[in-house]
């Protein structure tokens, strides 16, 4: 079991696998979007083995990928908002403007 300390929740059993793959793509440029989508559509031996161990139908992989990507999108949007608000706070603090 993997725990994502950014968000501990019960999700699709394959979400952690796709989260790991998506983060490798987004953070390190490993793979491509097309490869990620193709993997969900036609699981490789690694993903098939995981499905077997988790007793999950491989046909659910596209749903798991979609759920993972929706979560990543929401997190990134929230992070962008927080960064923008922090930038405004820094500007206010350094300009001495009242809050």
Per-residue pLDDT of 56-72, as tens digits, reads: 999 999 999 999 888 88
Average pLDDT, the chain: 84
Classified as helix, coil or strand, 9 is: coil
Listed by start position, the domains of the chain span 15-95
Give residue 96's pLDDT: 62
How far, in Å, CA of 59 to CA of 40, rounded?
A: 8
**What is the percent of the chain where pLDDT is above 70?**
87
pLDDT in tens, 86-98: 888 888 888 765 5
Q: CB pairs under 8 A, 24+ apart, for 47-55?
A: 47/14, 47/17, 50/14, 50/17, 51/14, 54/13, 54/14
pTM, two decimals, is 0.70
Residue 42: DSSP 8-state? S
pLDDT in tens, 40-56: 999 999 999 999 999 99
């Amino acid at each position: 079991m993997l725990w994502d300390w950014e968000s501990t929740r019960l999700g699709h059993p394959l979400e952690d696998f796709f989260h790991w793959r998506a983060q490798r793509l987004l953070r390190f440029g490993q793979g491509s979007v097309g490869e990620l989508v193709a993997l969900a559509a036609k699981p490789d031996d690694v993903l098939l083995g995981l499905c077997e161990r988790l007793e999950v139908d491989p046909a659910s992989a596209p749903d798991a990928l979609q759920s993972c990507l929706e979560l990543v999108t929401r997190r990134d949007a929230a992070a962008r908002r927080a960064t923008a608000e922090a930038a405004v706070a820094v500007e206010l603090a350094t300009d001495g403007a009242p809050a």
